[in-house]
Structure 1
Amino acid sequence: MIRSLLLATAALAIASPSLASSRAAIVPAPASDTPREGAFSLDARTVISAPANDAQAQASARYLADLLARSRGLKLAVRAPKAGERAIVLERGGPAGEAYGLTVAPQALTIRSSGDAGLFYGAVTAWQLATATPGKGAVVLPARVIEDAPRFGWRGLMLDSARHFQDVAFVKGLIDRMALSKFNTLHWHLVDDQGWRLEIKKYPKLTEVGAWRVPAGTAAAADIDPKTGKPRVIGGYYTQDQVREIVAYAAARHITIVPEIETPGHAHAPIVAYPQLGSAASPPTATSGDWGVFPYLYNVDETTFAFLDDVLTEVVALFPSRYIHVGGDEAVKDQWKSNPAVQARMKELHIGSEAQLQGWFISRIEQMLKAKGRKLVGWDEILEGGVAPDATVMSWRGIDGAIIAAKLGHDTILSPAPTLYLNHRQTNSPEEMPGRGQVVGLKEVYDYEPMPAALNADEQHHVLGVQANLWTEHVRTQDRAPLMYYPRATALAETAWSPAARKDWGDFADRLPVELDRYRSLSLPFGEAALKARALAAPSGAGAQVTLLGAEDVGQIRYTIDGSAPSPAARAYKAPFDVPLGTTVRAQAFRGQAALAPASATVIDARAARTRVSQDLKSCTQGIVLNLEDDGPVRGERARFLVDVMNPCWIYERADLSGVAEIEAAVGQIPFNFQIGADVEKIKFRPPATPAGELEVRQGSCEGAVVATLPLAPAAKSDGVTVLKAPLKGAGRADLCFSFTQKALEPLWVLDRVTLVTGHDR
């Protein structure tokens, strides 16, 4: 009833331009926000009040006080107000659960909810109202009435700690940020092929062995630890005491942690620790630095199920969440097919296929969890071969899994790739973090609608909510993770919380600069690369033509060429423009009067006009395109390459070859650490003319005439980027295709950047 009322109120507010124009800059947008006459003055004399005998209300009051102290410098007392004192009052009553009401009046800002989470979220909204204008000190809050409740009960982010480990402080920091966006579920991916991150007392080798690995590549192999005489390992794990600490920290912010223990696939690391668990004739002997889908599966012996039951017993003792995630994805069945013991077990159980065997396997795990009072959730592959009766399905391969699950009567969570996979790039900028090559921008995430249209009203009740995932294969350092999460996670937060009728991209983009200022006020990093403007030049007559890129969906790019700093009044970028060589183009994206990110400054000279980095080049095909980081140097900055690992080939479109006498190409080599099964046979190279191979440049197409050949011998022993030079024979404007000749797949040669050098530039 409350949700229906809020939806109707939100729809009326959206229809009213006068109300829309005075909505508060709150993210996620509240269901109903009605302005009133008057204002509340918030200053150092204001107090925060909560019932003295109400521990949860007191905790939310202190949380609000801490936020205001850190962001506005206002240190407010938490106590009962005296006569005449202005106060922020937290009181019981009204909406239940996560819903709350908030009233701003001249004498008091009142937050009311009968639910603990509701009071907490009301406190977060009060903080957002107080930080709607940047700066420190006192602030005036316009009067208003907010009635709010979440659209979905599952509002989640996933953190992959298995591929790269993050420390306890980072996990707590992520939880803090989630709370500010009203997320309530942290899906914690603790187990995968590359690492086991959770201490299990009964099986210590899971972390003693399975939590550590040598990174892929020659640079890591040569980085010898003097204590062991072997290559240094990376990794780590969480002790059970640390997990209890993190779980309690999350609970205090009304966030539930759902752990994931992968079965039956993605089991390389635990099988290395305990080889008897595996199905392979020759089990792996070391954890791996490869990415992709490994073939190693748990076997189906009763001793293995006893192991998994023991593990889950310790897991449920640490995590009080209703749900336990058991994976179920990407389980390659080849080892089951070739294992005589597994085949005998299938015959004994009258199971006709390996897919049905996985269904039986997951059902066994569900029975274990049910006996422990928990519910199973798994990726949508658990639908194959017969889904466990009470399983909840997390749909990642598009939305079909969610639709099938709901129609079968199963609860489901929407988490589809690529839109909600935050390991994809946010922009084409060379400043972007390493990750998947496909660009998934802020607007694409915001525009995603999680409720499948194919579901009727009854089936829609099975949609628990929505979640975005950050897989960390290419997130090597934990300081990069927030740059991948934010601000896209904030866009998803609005989808997860706000009524569907309340969502509006233009309105969100208007509120975004305020949200970015909140990040800055708390020193919270976020990905600015997608919001920055950058200049890309090309030869044009005696000068250059400049194209400005960046923040296309969010802001207006403005620029100057006279040395002055861009401002909201500077020239708006609408189309490419010509400038003389030597010009400095300064550009910045604005939303209204607010800058989205720092300004860029690019000197447009002849070399810049004829240089393209790999991120500016076109991939010849669209196989597995990744924005990869070099494997060396082990310490220090590394180059980043955009490459299709199935076909390392790049196209410089419409290159101006007039006057070009030489080509410079910066190249690197990376390990081919991708588990892609039989698809590896599809990767073909032209045969080399020299032992180390060559970079070939062809004009017109990738089958065109060779116009330059750059031998790779000078770069063969380098862990970094090497600049190669060679004469180039070409003319006019034409596409240039770059590809490598080589005998074997390892190492994989990659192109970092290319420069066309004229006779005048030499």
Structure 2
Amino acid sequence: MKKLLYVALAWLLLAACAKEKKPVDPADFHIIPKPASLTPGTEVLDWDNKKIAIIARTADEKNVGNLLAEFLKTKNLNATVTEFSDDADKIAFYTAEDPALGNEGYTLVVDEKGVSLTAAAGAGLFYGIQTLLQLIPENGKTVPYVTITDQPRFAYRGLHLDVSRHMFPPDFIKKYIDLLAHHKFNRFHWHLTEDQGWRIEIKKYPKLQEIAAYRKETVIGHARDADPKNPKDFDGKRYGGYYTQEEVKDIIKYAADRYVTIIPEIEMPGHALAALSAYPELGCTGGPYQAATTFGVFDDVFCAGKEETFTFLEGVLDEVITLFPSKYIHIGGDECPKDKWEVCPHCKKRMKAENRKNTHELQSYFIQRIEKYINSKDRQIIGWDEILEGGLAPNATVMSWRGEEGGIAAARQNHDVIMTPTGWCYFDYYQDTTSENEPLAIGGYLPVSKVYSYEPIPAVLTADEAKHILGVQANLWTEYIPTPEHVEYMMYPRACAMAEVAWTAKENRNYEDFLTRLDTHFKHLDAWDVHYAKHLQHAADSTVSKK
């Protein structure tokens, strides 16, 4: 009788425990960017000492599976990619169309059967595994039961890097791509040419590698404080380099495997001193010129009146287009002083021949002519919002950086727009004004809180006009950022905030909730050896006055 009583009590105790088991609070899932829908379960998968089968059949599934297997090995988890397995310790990929999710959405299910990930295309599978990786504790080998359905808000989600003021090795460019891809950005804007250096090999014009890729020295400290005539204000060290076409191809392939499109930027008609140092006949005066040793905006630009200018740029673009599969080619168009054009006989002749009233309209001619050439190669141009001046090229997409006005004007003209205004998207600005150790920056003040607050669709646009806002991008100009570690310091954690602006639906965003998730996310950044601004872990919402 006692034995039966003990058995009955045991069953009652088990039943009571089962009733006590409750789903995990969704707030305990610290995923960045925040998913659209998350339903937690009550159990966990335990992969300790297990062999994990990654089920992948299509080319995209195998690509994503191999990337996942590589990462799991860093967690000392044994994973292999295979086409079939009945094992419960499995991660199964399914490619199936779902109009509600598009090509970048996914459904992730973790339960007693293992992990299943469904998406319409490789990009969706890739973003699904980025979420899965954030579900695995940094020092653990378990995955909580959960169902997540997710898709991005914007089609264009970009991060930019200027490698012309300061150059970074190919291995770091790959790490930069890894990090942006993990945070579900899908565009890498690679700024390759500037006054201070030309960074891409162009075989037709070897002097770009021999001369334009190098400057004789670099200003010490902030450019505004330097005396151009005082040698003590410069370091006296030759600086430069360039990426070979083979290196560029390798980086493009690396990005494509992670569903990132690289958009190259070849600056024109301004920011051209490095190119003019190699080919002085392309300037209005004929030179001599040298690559800039300080930072700012310079009067010497490509001559808009000489045919040689367009022959040169078309030759450059031919090689760039052959290398980069991107639909977009960025042609700059910003900060182009017109002083030399105003007095240049070649430019005056061009204005008269083309019936252009002023040099703003001459720049419009320049951009429209380049656009026509790029369109003939079945590509499209992106330009900074200055390309609106004098008349916008017919098929151009505008990056609005001088506030939102350029983007608003372009959208109202039925042109596509990428929002990247300085006040929210320029990560070369100071991010903290409380630390004495904050490194030199170009100026301004942009804390994490302000980045997170950004709404890319201006309220003044109609619903139809708003459809032209393709997305958002954060930019990093490197005048005062000489090392990879400094790049990471300026990018993170601000890029985490921008990732959520770009991916997560407006109604699902909450800054306090983001900060809670960010605390956990810092552990992932530590594991990936990211040199982020660690002092912002407890100062992310600093609101002290500008530096």
With normalisation by structure 2, the TM-score equals 0.89
Q: Which residues of 2 match residues 275-674 of structure 1 at below 5 A?
A: 275-279=280-284, 281=285, 283-300=287-304, 301-428=306-433, 429-531=435-537, 550-552=539-541
Note the residue ranges of structure 1 that are not aligned, 5 or more in a row: 1-17, 224-230, 533-549, 555-615, 626-762
- Deviation, 1:50, is 2.4
User: Separation in 2 of the partners of 1:51 and 1:84?
Assistant: 14
Shift of 1:265: 0.6
> Does the Cα contact within 8 Å between 1:44 and 1:138 map onto a contact in 2?
no
Which residue pairs with 1:261 in the alignment? 266
C-alpha distance 30-220 of structure 1, shift in aligned 2 (>3 A): farther
The alpha-carbon deviation at position 23 of structure 1 amounts to 5.3
- Cα distance in 1, alignment partners of residues 135 and 26 from structure 2: 16
**Residue 94 of structure 1: how far off its partner (Å):** 4.3
Contact 1:30 1:147 in 2 (8 A): yes
Pair 1:220–1:124, CA change in 2 (3 A): farther
Richer in strand (by share): 1
Kept in 2: contact 1:94–1:100 (CA 8 A) = no
Rounded Cα–Cα distance in structure 1 between residues aligned with 2:403 and 2:71: 38
Query: For 1:482 and 1:330, how far apart are their aligned partners in 2?
Result: 27
User: 1:212·1:235 contact (CA, 8 Å) conserved in 2?
Assistant: yes
> 1:307 is paired with a residue of what secondary structure?
helix
Pairwise CA distance, 1:220:
7.5
Partner Cα separation in structure 1 for residue 78 and residue 530 of structure 2? 20
What is residue 202 of structure 1 aligned with on the other side? 204
Q: Provide the aligned length of Structure 1 versus Structure 2.
A: 510
Larger radius of gyration: 1
Higher helix share: 2
RMSD (CA atoms)? 2.0
Instruction: Report SS of the residue matched to 1:418.
Output: helix
Classify the secondary structure of the residue corresponding to 1:292: coil
- Whether the 8 Å CA contact 1:418–1:424 is kept in 2: the answer is no
| Aligned equivalents of 1:108, 1:20: Cα separation in 2 | 21
> What's 2:12 paired with?
none
Q: Give, in whole Å, the separation in 2 of the partners of 1:30 and 1:80.
A: 29
> Measured at CA, do residues 299 and 222 of structure 1 come closer, stay the same or move farther in structure 2, by a change above 3 Å?
closer
State the SS of the aligned residue for 1:196: coil
* Secondary structure, counterpart of 1:191 in structure 2: coil
Structure 1 residue 107: Cα displacement: 2.1
Instruction: Give the match for residue 18 of structure 2.
Output: none
**AA matched with 2:63:** A
Equivalents in 2 of 1:246, 1:202: separation in Å? 21
Q: 2:91 pairs with 64, 73, 88, which one?
A: 88
- Worse-matched range after superposition: 122-131 or 78-87: 78-87
Shift of 1:210: 0.8
Q: Residue 97 in 1 paired to residue 103 in 2?
A: yes
* Secondary structure of the corresponding residue to residue 39 of structure 2: strand
- After TM superposition, the score normalised by the length of structure 1 is 0.65
Mapped partners of 1:183, 1:234: distance in 2: 31
Write the letter of the residue equivalent to 1:33.
Answer: L
- Distance in 2 of aligned mates of 1:256 and 1:293: 29
Shift in Å at residue 380 of structure 1?
A: 0.2
Residues 500 and 46 of structure 1: is their aligned pair in 2 closer, same or farther, counting only changes over 3 Å? farther
Give distance in 2, aligned partners of 1:89 and 1:355.
Answer: 57
Q: How many angstroms does 1:271 deviate by?
A: 0.8
How far apart, CA to CA, are the structure 2 residues paired with 1:161 and 1:84?
47
Letter in 1 for 2:299: P
Match of 1:138 among 141, 155, 171: 141
Counterpart mapping for 1:69-84 below 5 A: 69-70=73-74, 72-79=75-82, 82-84=85-87
Aligned to 2:123: 117
State the distance in 2 between where 1:341 and 1:299 align: 8
Superposed CA deviations along residues 342-374 of structure 1, whole A, max 9, x for unmatched, are 112211211101001111110000011001110
1:212 aligned onto 2:214: yes
1:409-440 CA-partner distances (Å, limit 9, x unpaired): 00000000032100011101122222123221
- CA distance 1:46–1:75, change in 2 (3 Å): closer
AA at the equivalent of 1:397: R
Q: Deviations over 1:167-197 (max 9, x none)?
A: 1111011001111101100000001111110
Question: Is the 2:417–2:471 Cα contact (8 Å) retained in structure 1?
Answer: yes
Identity of aligned residues (%): 41
Q: Report the Cα distance in structure 1 between the residues aligned to 2:324 and 2:28, rounded to whole angstroms.
A: 39
Q: Is the 8 A contact 1:211 1:235 kept in 2?
A: yes
Contact 2:219–2:234 at 8 Å: present in 1 too?
Answer: no
Mapped contact 1:427–1:529 kept (Cα < 8 A): no
Other structure's SS at 2:116 match: strand
**Closer/same/farther in 2, CA of residues 358 and 84 from structure 1, 3 Å limit:** closer
- Helix, strand or coil for the counterpart of 1:208? helix
Q: CA 1:41–1:193 in 2, change beyond 3 Å: closer, same or farther?
A: same
Contact 2:263 2:326 in 1 (8 A): yes
Which residue identity lines up with residue 161 of structure 1 in the other structure? V
More divergent stretch after superposition (315-324 vs 298-307):
298-307
1:232 alignment partner, SS class = coil
What is the alpha-carbon distance in structure 1 between the residues aligned to residue 51 and residue 108 of structure 2? Answer: 17
Q: Offset at 1:551?
A: 4.2
1:48 and 1:25, CA in 2 relative to 1: closer, same or farther beyond 3 A? Answer: farther
1:48, 1:294 → 2: CA distance?
58
Kept in 2: contact 1:47–1:79 (CA 8 A): no
Structure 2 partner of 1:232 = 237
Q: 2:20 — aligned with what?
A: none
